Structures are given as structure tokens and as C-alpha cells.
Amino acid sequence: MNALTEIYGSGLASSGKTSVLISLLAHATQQHFCALVDADDSFDPASARAAGVNFFRLLWVRCGKHKSKLKPMEQAFKTTDMLLQSGGFGLIVVDLSSLGERLVRKVPLTTWFRFSRVVEKQRTALVFLSQQPHATSCAGLVLSLKARPAVWSGKLLVQFKLEAEVMRMREKKPPQSAKPNFSLRAEWA
Amino acid sequence: MFACLFVPDFRVQAVLRLEPETSREILKQSPVAILDGPASLPRVVATNEPARLAGIEMNMTRQQVETCGRVWRRKRSPANENAAQAALLDCAASFSPRVESTAPGTVILDLAGTEKLFGSTQALARKIAHQAAEFGFELNIAVAANPDTAFYAARGFSGITMIPAGEEAERLSSLTVDVLSTSPEMLDILDSWGIRNFHALALLPPVPVVERLGQEGLQLQKIARGETRRPIVPAEAAADFVESFEFDDPVGTLESLTFILNRLLQQICARLTARSLATNELRLKLGLEVRQLKTGENKEFYERTWKLPLPIQDPKVLFRLAYLDLEGNTQPAPIEKIIVQAVPVKPRYAQSGLFAPASPETEQLEITLARIRGIVGSTDENGIACVGSPRMLDSHKPDSFTVQPFSGINEEAEELDSTPADAPIISLRIFRPALQTAVELAREKPCSVSLHKKQLRVLAASGPWRSSGNWWSTSSAWARDEWDVALKTTEGVGFYRIYLDRIKGQWFVEGGFD
């Protein structure tokens, strides 16, 4: 709450960032209204339902689906701005991880700083999902995700192992060896 | 007791009530003439007091009106008059459940039993006048023991008139016989007898009046004496709340339109509030000036409907929603007519709990969503909304979903039984539309997949998982063989879902497990 969080992981290889995002939404929508700003329309409602997301408390904004003067990333940032101004959302997630890395890198630092300042005054958690960290010192928490070898049962993919690393934490310094591991279960496993 | 609400110069007031606040105040003090008839020769059908003082008379032509100095001319609109009458009924209905629509611009309401709610009849009459001013009317109000006395007193005396029971004949005596609703022939007879006012009519002996004028004459005399007794006929509440405005000259700019739109919405919301109703569906129709060369008729319309998750009474919110939509959709032709309709529903009253989760303020949320729609668009190429709450469709076809309006209501959210999974689930990141790809097979299993212009080796594959549906329809039939594959990329191992479309015979990447 009251901070900007950045979760990042590889774009080509599986890193588990989408699974973490959906798990976050599943827990947050039990108590709060949440918004997902989907810059590239890559959210899968079937996965979300399996994870237990309460759709009635989820606002999904699909960017880049309509001919507009604005590019999908500009649409996503403007939408996030409006949602923050509107208030009432416990969690706002902005998924930029399908956008080109060079494009997101062009976002000026002042934009991240402004988001950080706005969210500080609200009871809202603002989470950005991307391939690389961009908010730098504006983020209250930066989390890096990497996938480890998957578990197969015969012909079936049943489990993902993830390694998370806290790259930055504003409240207190992260421990040097903080690399918690956790696993993701396949829906059919 | 009965109260009569009478709108003097009803046709003029029916037009002026839809004017923006500033111009309405100016027009009230200025001569206004309402014209009707064929476009080639319209004639005056109604005027206000300043116009009469300026010498404007009924049936004058436009050219004759122009010779009388600066006179505001407006086109007569029967739709406006109907809406004004409905508004007058709504205004009266907020004080009494028994309201009679006596004539255009005149309603009578039964005040029996309203004392405990609104106090004395004088206080009630003042409240009615105040409420009517909010609807844009300037009324004459008369309160009397019988409906006819109230009716004629309201027609004859301006402002608020109170007639106690037993004093009807005395109070009506000064009224001229011209206010009686009777035939011109009858008025001519009374005039030839030298009967000019109610006092003279009331003093005539009843039997000779019946002998000469029949039962109608006796009825007129009873009215003059304030002795009539009749029940009122309650009017049914209006089922639709429609307000319309026709521009004298078509407007091409949004600013000109918004003044009128705001006024129409204020009128509708005032009427809804008077009936203790709200709206959850607002319809806007703009008539565009597009000439059809063959028929000469205007047939082009722009229509828009807003379905709101919660009933709303606030005109500012409705105006903002309409304004944001009009701002994003430029009209191809000037607008000559605007019609606004609100579907009435009961308002929703809810008490928020101490421990209920914070939710976005509903009215503010609607405006925010309208703004977001202005940025990302309303729907995608398949007609699915771009902003809203996702819902799964009852189908086995992968990626079948729809997007419903987001309400932000806690009660609805609590109805859904959803609990988070015990452990995080592997989620799919979808490519919409699916990426067409080339797949090399070895022993009927994928061994190499082309992705982002790179040939990637398959490390492991799970499949084929075969599914199909809608086989009875050629347009929507689907059939596919699905594989979950682990691909060796430059950044590590990526897990993807690929499938062979058995109808098209092509391979696609549906998404990546991430």
C-alpha cells in the first residue's frame, strides 16, 4: 500500500511474473476493488478464474485495441493516472511486460516520480510489471523473478519453480541472501 | 381543499423552460412570440405579456411581427408542450398523489391529508411555487374548497390566491366572464345582457337562466357562485421521461449544444426527483441536418445509450457522461434536434458498513470510465468492450470471454463465490491475435518452432490435446491440436502453448506460460 512496486522478469523466457500478478489479483480482489491496465491485451481470464480472481471486483482496461492517436503505452499511463485520481482501488496493476523494452525505457523519470508521489497519499498499491526495472529510486519495492527448471510428470508440465529476488526495498535494506523460492502449480496438475 | 396550478402563456413558457438559465431570464422580460403553421407563412399562436404590450396579436404573420420592433420569435413545439405538461404533473405529484391534468398548462391537486407533511395550505402553496420555479415555470396558484373555484381563481388572479370555504362567491365576484371555459356564442349572449363579471352572473335568478340558456347556463352560474361539486380525475404517472429541443438554426459546435443538453438533463432529473425516481439508462438522440435529395426529409440520427450500474439522479454526472461521448465523436453534420430520454427506476439506498472494503465512488467512477473509454476506445474489432469486468463464456473454445460493465458495487462482488487457489497457478500470457508460426515435426512431435523471427529448439513437448466445437456451423467451427512446449531461447527456457488449427491447417502460438 502507498507505494509503487515493480516486478520484472524476462520477456522471452518464462519468469513467472504473470502468475505472480494473477495470484496477487486473486488475493487482493477478495477484499478490494482492483484495476488491471493491460498495455498489450495479454491477460487470460481463464487463468485468472482458475487462480480465484473475483471478476466482480476487477476492472480490466485493454489498451491498444482501438484505433487511437495514442500508442498503447501512452494509453496505459494516462489510464493509470485517471484511476489513481479516481481513488477507491486497493490495487492497480499496470502490465507493460509485452511492450518493447526500448519503448518503456523512454518513459521519463519524472513520470515514475509523479506516480510515486501520487500513490504515497492514497491507500492503493501500484504495481508495474515489466521486463526490466525502470522506476529505479521511485519504486518502494523492486522484485526480480527468474524461472528454474520445470517439473514434468510423464508428458505433463505440472510445476514451475521460481526464484524471487528483492532488488530494492525502501522501508528497510533487503538481506543479502534474500532469494526466496516458490513453486507454481499447473491448473491441471 | 384543492389547489390549481395554472401556467399563464403556457406555450411560451413550454419553450422558455428549456432555454439556458441566462437567456431564459432575458427572454422573460422581452417580447416573445410563438409561431406555428406552414414554413412559408407561419402565424403567431402565443405571446407573453411584454409582447402583447408591444402590440403583437394572435394570427399575425412573421412580417407583421417584424414591424413591431425587436421581438424574439420561437417555433412552436408540441413535443415541448407535452413534456412541459408532464413536468407540471410531476411537480404537482411531489405534493399529492391525486393530481388531475385539467388542461394544457393547468393541473389540479387534492390537498386532503397533506397538512401533516407540508403544514398549512399557505405554506404548501409557497413550496409548490418554489418547486415549480425549479422546473422553469412561473405559476398562478389558487387554493379553494372545490376544484372549479380553484381553477377559475388560478386563471383570473396572478400569484397565490387562498379562498376559504364559504367565501367563494365573494372572492370570485371580480373575475370577468371571459375566463369561463365556454363557447364564444354563450359569451356573446352574456355580453348582450350586460353581464361582465362573475358577480353579475351570480345575481341572476336561476330559473329564468335555465329557461334561456339551458343547463349550461345554470352550470356557469354555479361556477360564478362557487357552488359546483365534482370529483377530480387523477392522471396516470408518465411512464417515460423525455425532453427534446429543436434548434431554430442547426448548430455545428459542441459548446452550443452543451448549453441545451445541460438544461434538458436538469429538467429530466428534476422530474425524476419529484417522483422519487432515478435513472439507470439514458438515451440521447441527435437529429442531423442531412438533406435527402429525393424526398427532402431529414433521416440521419446519432443515437447513444448509456446503461449505468447504479440509478443516478445527479444531472451533472449524466451531463459529463454525455459530454465526454460527444467530445470523442465528431458529428458529420450540424445538429437540428436533440432528444434526451431517461428510463425511470427506483433509486438505490445503501448504507456502507464500517468494515466494508473501500470502493470507488460510483458517480465519479462512471465519469472516469467514460474518460478511459475516450482514450482506449469502447470496443475492439470483435465488439468486445475495452473497459470493464471480464466474464468467461459458457464455451469450451479457448480464450472465450466477454467484458461486462464494471459496477464497483460490493454486494454484487460478495455474491460470487471465489476463493484464491491454495498455491499460485501457472498462468498464460495470451497473444491476441494468436501468432502464426512454422513448426517442424519429428515423429509427429514438434521439434522446432519459429517465434519472433527466430527458430527455437523444442526441449520438451506435451500433447497433442485435441479439442473441437461448433462443428455444425461453417463460420464458427473450430478444431485444434494443442501442445505445451519448452523452447530454448536466448534468455533461458520459455514455456509456450502452440496449436495446429485443423481447419486452416496452420500452426499458431497462443501464448506463453509466465
* A122 chain-B contacts, CB cut-off 8 A: none
For chain B, the distance separating the N- and C-terminal CA atoms, rounded to the nearest angstrom, is: 77
Write the CB contacts of B460 (distance below 8 Å, at least 6 apart in sequence): A152, A157, B485, B486
A 23-82: CB under 8 A from B: 23, 26-27, 29-33, 41-68, 70, 75, 78-79, 82
| CA–CA gap between residue B281 and residue B277 (Å, rounded) | 12
Q: How far is B465 from chain A (nearest CA, A)?
A: 11
pLDDT in tens, chain B (514 residues): 899 999 998 999 888 888 877 777 888 888 898 988 887 888 999 998 888 888 888 888 888 888 888 888 888 888 888 888 988 998 898 888 889 988 899 999 998 888 888 888 888 899 999 988 888 888 999 999 889 899 988 988 888 989 888 888 888 888 888 888 888 888 888 888 888 888 888 888 888 888 888 888 888 888 888 888 888 888 877 778 898 888 878 888 888 888 888 889 998 998 898 888 899 889 999 888 776 555 555 557 888 888 887 888 889 989 988 888 888 777 778 888 889 999 998 887 766 667 666 777 777 888 899 889 888 888 888 889 999 999 999 888 888 999 998 887 766 656 666 677 777 788 889 998 899 999 998 888 899 998 888 888 988 888 788 999 988 988 889 999 999 888 888 888 888 999 999 999 999 999 998 8
Q: Return d(Cα B211, Cα B483) in angstroms, integer.
A: 104
Distances (CA, A) of A132 to A103, A129, A135, A144, B145: 12, 9, 10, 9, 83
Taking CA atoms, A19 is separated from B399, B405, B430, B432, in Å, by: 17, 25, 12, 18
For residues A108 and B408, what is the distance between their CA atoms, to the nearest angstrom?
A: 33
Cross-chain residue pair A66–B415, CB shorter than 8 Å: no
CB pair distance less than 8 Å for B398 and A46: yes
Q: Do B390 and A58 touch (CB under 8 A)?
A: yes
A99 contacts on B by Cβ (under 8 Å): none
B9-to-A37, B6, B53, B112, B140 alpha-carbon distances in Å: 56, 9, 14, 29, 11
Chain-centre distance of CA B299, in angstroms? 22
**Taking the mean position of all CA atoms in its chain, how far away is CA B476?**
39
Angle, helices B184-192/B206-225, rounded to nearest 10 degrees: 110
> Torsion angle of alpha carbons A39, A40, A42, A48, nearest 10°?
10
- Cβ B368–A47 below 8 Å, yes or no? no
- C-alpha cell at position A152: 514434468
Note which residues in 87-116 of chain A have CB less than 8 A from chain B. 87-90, 97-98
Amino acid letter at B50? P
Q: The domain A3-177: what is its CATH number?
A: 3.40.50.300
B285 grid coordinates:
438522440
Report yes or no: A128 at the B interface, CB cutoff 8 Å. Answer: no
Exposure letters B341-364 (e unless 16+ CB within 10 A, then b) = bbbbbebeeeeeeeeebbbbebbb
**For residues A158 and B320, what is the distance between their CA atoms, to the nearest angstrom?**
51
The ipTM, to two decimals, is 0.90
Q: How far is A6 from chain B (nearest CA, A)?
A: 16
Best probe of the A interface among B427, B498, B509, by most A CBs < 10 A, is B427
Query: What residue type is assigned to position A39 of the chain?
Result: A
Residue B276 is given by DSSP the state T
Between residues 278 and 337 of chain B, which touch chain A (CB distance below 8 Å)? Answer: none
Looking at beta carbons, which residues of chain B come within 8 Å of A96? none
The yes-or-no verdict on residue A1 having pLDDT over 80 is no
Delimit the domains of chain A by residue range.
3-177
Q: How distant is the alpha carbon of residue B365 from its chain centre? A: 20
Residues 401-440 of B with CB under 8 A from A: 401, 403, 406-409, 412-413, 415-416, 418-421, 423-432
Residue A26 one-letter amino acid? A
Alpha-carbon radius of gyration of chain A: 16
Q: Given this model, what pLDDT does residue A133 score? A: 87
Q: Do the Cβ atoms of A26 and B420 come within 8 Å?
A: yes
* Helix B147-156 with B206-225: angle, nearest 10 deg: 70
Determine the residue among B363, B429, B490 to mutate to test chain A binding: the one whose Cβ has the most chain A Cβ atoms within 10 Å.
B429
- Chain B residues with CB under 8 Å of A37 CB are none
Is residue B139 within 8 A of residue B103, CB to CB? The reply is no
Counting one residue from chain A and one from chain B, the pairs whose CB atoms sit within 8 A come to: 236
Phi-psi region of B483 (alpha: psi -120 to 50; beta: other; left: phi over 0): beta
By Cβ distance, the residue of B392, B462, B486 closest to A45 is B392
Q: How far apart are CA B126 and CA B123, in angstroms?
A: 5
d(CA A78, CA A43): 19
Indicate the residue type of A109.
L
C-alpha cell read off for B216? 349550461
Amino acid found at B70? R
Of A19, A65, A184, the CB nearest to B386: A65
Confidence of residue A172 (pLDDT cuts 50, 70, 90): low
Q: What pLDDT, on the 0 to 100 scale, is given for residue B265? A: 92
Which of A14, A50, A83 lies nearest to residue B513, judging by beta carbons? Answer: A14
